[in-house]
Amino acid sequence: MWRVQCKLPSRVSDVLQTGNAGSARGGLDAECGTAWVTHEGRVHAWALPSRAGDRSTEGGAVPDTYAEYDVAPRVAGDTSPPLVHVASADGGATLWVVAAGAASGKVAVARCDGVAGAREEMGEARLPRRENTGAAPRVTALTAIPSARGGLIAVVGCDRGELFLVECVARGTVTATAMRRDGASGGSTPGGASTPGGGSINTPSKWGAAAMSSAKAALRFLTDPLAVDATDTDEDAVRSLAWAGPSQGRGDATRLIALTGRRLEEWEVDRDGGGGHALVVSNRALGAVMRALRTEGDVELISAAPAPGAGVGAAVVVLAAEGRRWSLHRAELRAGGDSLAVLASAVPAAGAVPSGGGGARGGATVLAGGAPTDAALVVTPGGGAALFAHETLSEQMLMHDPAAGGGRVMSAAAAPSVGGWLMLTELMGVVAYSPATADAAATPTEVEREMETEAPPPLAAVDVPIPPIDVDPAEAEAAVRAEFAAYASGSGGVPSEAGFRLRAAGALTSSLDAAASPEVVSAAPFASNSRAIVDALPKHWPGPSGPGPAVEMHLDEKARRHDMFLQWLVEAAGVYNLLSAAERERILEHGEMVAALLCVRQIHNEAAEADELEGGGGEEVGKPLELLREAAVAAGEALQSSDAAVKGRPAAEVCYSRATGCATALLPALADGIDAHAGADSQGSLHERATALDTLSRALLGALNAAADYRRSHAPLYPPSISSGPTAPSPRWNAGEGARQALRAAAVAAVLLRDEAARGGAPDLAAPLGSRLLAVATPLLDACAADVAAAEPGSDARAAARAEYISARNTVLPALMDAAREGGGGSGGFHGAGRPGFGVTMDAVAAVAEAHFGYEQLAEVCEAALAEAADATAVASATARLHHHMRTLRGAPVDGEGTFATFMFERSMSHPGCSGSVGRRIAETLQNTPDEFYDELTDCLRPRPPLLWLHQLRADDYVGAASTLRGLSGTGAKGISGKGATLAERRQFLSLAKLSLLASGASSEADEIVSIDAALNLTEIQCGLLARRSDGKGDDSATPLPPLRLVESCLGEGNGGAAGSEPEDVLDAFSVFASAGGAFREANKTLLEACWRRAAAETDWEQLSELRASAGDVKYVRSLVNTPVARAARRCYQKSFAVRLGPPFDEVLTPRDVLNLLEGAIGGGDRSDAALDPIREAIGLYALVEGDDEDVVPRDSYDMDV
C-alpha cells in the first residue's frame, strides 16, 4: 500500500519540472528524517514531518523545515556533480549539509537553519593528495550522521579504496582523517587492545639468549633464496557506505558497512568525535559472489546494506551485476579476514529490475531492514525500483518502471516505523510503501491510521503469491497457445495485456518446486507449448532420396519461433517472472536443443555438399556423410520406438524434427558410432578410424558448444541455480548421462588412436589426434564433475559418480601430457588442423589439469617451466606460478581430493635425494616454501620427523622442533620406520632439542631442559661404560639401553663379573638412578640397596679405621672422600653436584636408611663401633643423617671437587 508521507517543497517541484531535471540527484535519510535534491550545484534540503497528520494537506503532509545551500565551485569542481548528504539531530531545526567534490578532493560542511533558511559555512577539508601522482583522490561514496557532541561525522570513500573520516564540531573545525586498515587510530580507539593475559613478557636468560642466537645462526642456511619484494595493489573504488547501527557493547561507537570492488568491510566509528575508528572485519566478497553465481564473467559489486540477522557475523545484502544481469546475495561477515559467507543468492529474471533508461550499473543501491524483514529493495540510477523478499530473495513484491509512469524513484530508505520503506519520487514526493503481506493487512500502520488522503499508486506492484484455483491443464495450455499465436500473427494487441488474460485462464496458477519430476515440468502450460514448437514436424516429408536443405530451414524456423516465444513471455506483463524456475529452465533447455540439432544438421549438410561436389565417388569424402547419416538414422529409430506419431517416417528426418530427442537419442547414437568406427574394436586403417573420430566428434562437440553458446546469449533469462545443502543442481542435458557417454567414447578413441599414431603408425596424425583429445577432455571432465557435485555426499551415487570422474581423468590427462611432450605433427586432413597453434601445449594441459585435480600433470608443467628458466627473472616467474596454483587449488575434502600444495610437498618427499640425508628437492621445498603454506607443509611432514624438525626451526617453532627431536632421539634418524636410535643419534638429537628449547627462551632449570639433561647423562654413562670395557674404543652405533639394563650392566651382570668390579662402574649405577627419575627409583629400590652394598664392599673399612686413629685429619678426610660410598652419597644427596630427575632420593632411601643398611652389611655383628665410624662419616660428608646435630667432619676441611 502506498501513502504520501511528505510533499515536495514548491522550489523542488519547480526544479524537477524543468527540462534538464534528469541531472538532479536525490537523497533520503530515514533515521535523521531528512530528504534532499541536488541540481546544478544547489542543495535543496528539507525535514520530513515527524507525524504525518500534524501538517497534512491534500496530497500529503508538507515539510517541517526547508533550506537551500549552494556548493562552492571550488568544492564541486567542473567534471561531475558533487556528492551530498544531509543530516539532522533535532527534527530538522538544524540541517547539516556535507558536500564532497567528485574530483576536487575537497569536502565542505555547512549548517542551515531549517526554520529561517539561514546558512553558515562551517569550513572545508582537503583530502590528502596521493604521494605517487600528486593528484587528489576521486570521491565515489559519502555518508554522514550527527555526532554526539552536536556536530557532524561523515565518511568519504574514494576510487582506490581509501576512506576518510570527516568531522566538524564548530565553525572552522572541519578535519579529514585517513581511516587506516592496519589498525585503529585517533581518539579513544574502539575495541582497545590489551596484552593477552595481562601479564609481563618473559625474557630468556642470558644463556637462553645466547643459545637462541647460536641456533638461528646455525640455521641460516634455511633462508629463502628466491624471496622477492611484495608489491602492494590498490583496492577498487569504494562502491557504497552504509551505517549499521550502534556497536555491541559500545554505545559511543556506530558500525559502518563499506563495500569496495573486491571486499566488504565493517568499521567502528566513535560518535563522540576525536577521529576514533577501527576496522573490525574485512572479507573477500567478489570471489564469494562469483562462486555463488558459478561464473567467471565480469561480475561487479555495486552496493551493500546491513540487514537484520542473528548469525555469527554481521548480516548484509549485496547487489552485484554481470553485464545486464543483476544478482542479490544474502551474506554474513566472517571474522579472520576470510571470504564472505554467502547464505543465499538470487538472479532476477530479465526486466525484473527496471533500469528506467539508465544504462550505467554504478550508482544503483540496495537497501534492507524494511518490511518484510527479509526483503531487499533495489533502486537503479535511472529511477527504477524492485523489491525482493524471502530468505532466498527470490520472491518479487514490487516492480516500478519509470517508463510506465509514476516518475523516477530518486532515493529510498528502510523505514519499518512507517510500514516498510520510504521512497523519494520526482512526482509524488516522499512516499511510504507497505508491502501487501498478511501481517501488514492485519495490523494497520501508524501512517494508515493518521493519513486523511490516499494518493493514487504511482508504482506498479506485482502481487505474489497468487491464490491457487482449480484449472483444467488442457484449457490452460490452449490459452497459452492461443495468446502466443495471436502475438506471432500481430493480432494480439498490446503484449502487456496478455498476462491478465492468461491469469484469468488459469495458466499462471501452477506452482512447480525444484523437486518436481521432468514429466510434471514438461506438462506445465508454457513448457508444453515450448516443446510443441521445437518438436513440430515438417509439413512435407522428404522422399526416398533422403534429407535436403529444407530440413535445415525447418530448424532455423523453429529457433526463430522459440526466440519469439521467449520474447512474448518477457513482454506479456512480466509473465516470465511468474513462472517457476523449473519451467523457465525447461523452456530455455528446448532452445538449447534446437541450437544443438541445427549445428549437427549443418555439419551433415556440409558433408552432403562435399560428397556431391566429388560426385559421390571418393570413399574418403563419402565416409563422413555415411557416418552422420548412420548416426541420424539410429537416433531416429530410437525416437520412433516410443513415438507413434513418427512411425513409418524416414528415421533421419525424425531425428532432425524431434529436438527434444537430442539428449536421449542423438548423443547415444553418436557414442555408438564412435565405438563402432573408431573404438578399440573397430576395423579399418588408422586413417579411416581417425576420419570417423573426426567426423562424429565434430558433430558431438558442435552440438554441445551450440547449446553453451545459446545459454551465454540468453543468460539474463536463466533462473539462478538452486542447490539443496551440500549438493549442486542436477547436471543439465548437455552434461547428462548421454553426453558423458558420447564424450567418453570420443576421448577413449582419441587416446588409443593418438598413441598408435605416435608409435609410428602415422606420425602425421599424432598432433591432430592430440588436439581432438584436448577438445573433448574439457567437456567430458566438466560433465563428470557436475555429476559428482549433484550427488549427495556419502551416497552410493556420489561414489559411482566420483569413480567415473577419476576414470575419465586418468584416461585423458596422462595422454594429453604425452601429446604435449611429443609436440606437433602434420595436419592429417583433420578439420581445423591447418589453423595456427594446432596441437597440444603445456599451458593447455595445465588449464585442464588445474580445473580437474590433475595434480600430477600440473606439477610436471610447473617443474618443466622451472627447469627451462634461463635467468633469475624466469625462475621467479615460474616459482610464482607454482605458488599461485598451490594457493588456489584447495581440493575437495568431501570427495577426498587434497590440496595441490600438499600434493607438491608429498611429491618432493618421494623424489630421490642427490646427496646426503636430505635430497636437493627436499631442501628446496624446506627453504623456498612461503609462510602461507607452513601449516600444510607441517601436516605433510608429520609422518617424516627427520624433515619436520628442520621445517619447524625455519618457522621459528622452536618448542615444536624440540618435541620432534626428542621423538627422534628414540626412533633414530629414519624416524618412525627406523629400528631405533643409536647412541650417537640419541646424543645428537637430544642436544639439538635442548638447543631449540634454549632458543625459544626456556630457562636452563625448566623441566624440559632437566629431562633432556638427564637423558643425555644416561647416554654418556653408557658410552663411558662401553669405552672402559673396550680399552677406550667405544661404540657409538650401539643401541641405548633402558635404565634397568644399564644399571645391571654397571653392576657387571651378564658381563663376566670382572668388568663390573670397577668402582667407576658402580658409581655410574648411582648416576643412572639419579637420571632415571623417581618412579624408576621407587620400583627398583632393592636394586638401589644392592648398589649401596656393592659400593661399601669396594673399601677396606678396617684399614680406614686404623688410618682414622693414626693419621692426621687431612689425610683421613681425603681417603674418606675417595671411597665409593662417599662419592655415591654425593651423587645421590648433594643437590648441586649432578643431574637429578624427579623427587629427591630421600623419598626412597634416606641417609639414615643407607647408614643402617651398610652397618648391617659391613658390621656383621663382629666388628666394633670404631670400625663402623668411617662408614657413618663417609655418608655424613654429603648428607645430613637424621639424628646427627652437626657434620661429622668440618666441610671446609676437604676438597669438594674430587
Residue with the bigger pLDDT between 83 and 220: it is: 83
**Most confidently predicted of 228-232, 440-444, 670-674:** 670-674
Q: CA–CA distance from 1089 to each of 226, 893, 1155 (Å)?
A: 63, 60, 11
In this prediction, residue 227 has a pLDDT band, given cuts at 50, 70 and 90, of very low
Q: Report the b/e string of 276-311 with b at 16+ CB within 10 A.
A: bbbbbbbbebbebbbebbeeeeebbbbbbbbbebee
Dihedral sign for Cα atoms in the order 808, 814, 816, 819: negative
**Is the pLDDT confidence value at 54 over 80?**
no
User: 28 forms bridges with which residues in the sheet?
Assistant: 35
Check residue 539 and give its pLDDT: 65
Cell of 1115: 689425610
Q: What is the pLDDT of residues 1129-1174, one digit of tens each?
A: 898 888 777 657 888 888 888 988 888 888 887 765 455 566 678 8
**Is the pLDDT confidence value at 829 over 50?**
no
**Is the pLDDT confidence value at 804 over 90?**
yes
Coil, strand or helix at 331: strand
**Is the pLDDT confidence value at 3 over 50?**
yes
What pTM does this model have? 0.56
Asked if residue 881 lies in contact with residue 865, where contact means CB atoms within 8 angstroms, the answer is yes
Q: What is the pLDDT of residues 369-404, one digit of tens each?
A: 898 988 999 999 888 899 999 888 888 888 887 766
In this prediction, residue 406 has a pLDDT band, given cuts at 50, 70 and 90, of low
**Is the pLDDT confidence value at 495 over 50?**
yes
Q: In what order do the strands lie in the sheet with 25-29?
A: 25-29, 34-39, 42-47, 65-70
Cell of 654: 525424425
Check residue 1182 and give its pLDDT: 84
Question: Residue 1046's closest CA among 1025, 1016, 1074?
Answer: 1025
Check residue 190 and give its pLDDT: 36
In this prediction, residue 319 has a pLDDT band, given cuts at 50, 70 and 90, of very high
Asked if residue 270 lies in contact with residue 187, where contact means CB atoms within 8 angstroms, the answer is yes
Residue with the bigger pLDDT between 1061 and 226: it is: 1061
Name, in order, each residue with C-beta under 8 angstroms of 931's C-beta and a sequence gap of 6 or more.
955
**Is the pLDDT confidence value at 995 over 90?**
yes
**Is the pLDDT confidence value at 1195 over 90?**
no
Residue where the block lists cell 552504509: 242
In this prediction, residue 950 has a pLDDT band, given cuts at 50, 70 and 90, of confident
Q: Mean pLDDT, to the nearest integer, of 1190-1200?
A: 43
Q: CA–CA distance from 588 to each of 565, 579, 705 (Å)?
A: 10, 12, 15
- Share in percent of the chain as helix, strand, coil (round to 5): 50, 15, 35
Q: Report the b/e string of 1043-1065 with b at 16+ CB within 10 A.
A: beebbbbbbbeebeeeebebbeb
Name, in order, each residue with C-beta under 8 angstroms of 520's C-beta and a sequence gap of 6 or more.
512
Asked if residue 338 lies in contact with residue 298, where contact means CB atoms within 8 angstroms, the answer is no
Helical segments of 125-180, H only? none
Coil, strand or helix at 850: helix
Asked if residue 389 lies in contact with residue 397, where contact means CB atoms within 8 angstroms, the answer is yes
Helical segments of 614-666, H only? 619-640, 651-657
Check residue 927 and give its pLDDT: 72
Percent of the chain's residues with pLDDT above 70: 80
Q: Which range, of 263-267, 321-325, 454-458, averages the lowest pLDDT?
A: 454-458
Check residue 705 and give its pLDDT: 93
Residue with the bigger pLDDT between 887 and 456: it is: 887
**Is the pLDDT confidence value at 546 over 60?**
no
In angstroms, the CA 788 to CA 805 distance is 8
User: How does DSSP classify residue 185?
Assistant: B
Q: Mean pLDDT, to the nearest integer, of 918-943?
A: 75
Residue with the bigger pLDDT between 178 and 926: it is: 178
Question: Residue 995's closest CA among 950, 970, 1020, 958?
Answer: 958
Q: Mean pLDDT, to the nearest integer, of 23-27?
A: 89
Asked if residue 23 lies in contact with residue 78, where contact means CB atoms within 8 angstroms, the answer is no
Check residue 862 and give its pLDDT: 84
As a dihedral over the C-alpha atoms of residue 1100, residue 1101, residue 1102, residue 1108, rounded to 10 degrees, the angle is 120
In this prediction, residue 1065 has a pLDDT band, given cuts at 50, 70 and 90, of confident
The torsion angles phi and psi of 725, rounded to 5 degrees, stand at: 65, -135
**Most confidently predicted of 501-515, 1024-1038, 1074-1088, 1167-1181:** 1074-1088
Check residue 1169 and give its pLDDT: 65
Q: CA–CA distance from 1191 to each of 1130, 1180, 1196 (Å)?
A: 14, 6, 11
Question: Residue 716's closest CA among 508, 575, 577?
Answer: 577
1052 Ramachandran zone, left/alpha/beta (phi>0; psi -120 to 50): left
Asked if residue 999 lies in contact with residue 1023, where contact means CB atoms within 8 angstroms, the answer is no
In this prediction, residue 258 has a pLDDT band, given cuts at 50, 70 and 90, of very high
**Is the pLDDT confidence value at 287 over 60?**
yes
| Number of C-beta neighbours around residue 59 at 10 A | 14
In angstroms, the CA 11 to CA 641 distance is 76
Check residue 84 and give its pLDDT: 94
Burial grade of 422 (CB within 10 A; 0-12, 13-18, 19 or more): buried
Check residue 702 and give its pLDDT: 93
CA 216 to chain centroid, in Å, comes to 35
Residue with the bigger pLDDT between 221 and 486: it is: 486
Name, in order, each residue with C-beta under 8 angstroms of 440's C-beta and a sequence gap of 6 or more.
1, 371, 419, 420, 434
Q: Which range, of 132-146, 458-472, 1063-1077, averages the lowest pLDDT?
A: 458-472
Q: Which range, of 323-327, 371-375, 493-497, 947-951, averages the lowest pLDDT?
A: 493-497
Average pLDDT of the chain is 79
Check residue 521 and give its pLDDT: 74
Q: What DSSP string describes 390-451? A: STTS-EEEEEE-GGGTT--EEEEEEEGGGTEEEEEETTTEEEEE----HHHHHS--HHHHH-
Asked if residue 354 lies in contact with residue 419, where contact means CB atoms within 8 angstroms, the answer is no
CA 1091 to chain centroid, in Å, comes to 66
**Is the pLDDT confidence value at 942 over 60?**
yes
Check residue 402 and give its pLDDT: 79
In this prediction, residue 478 has a pLDDT band, given cuts at 50, 70 and 90, of confident
Coil, strand or helix at 388: strand
Q: Mean pLDDT, to the nearest integer, of 1076-1096?
A: 90
Q: Going by DSSP bridges, is the β-strand pair 299-306/315-322 parallel, antiparallel, or unpaired?
A: antiparallel
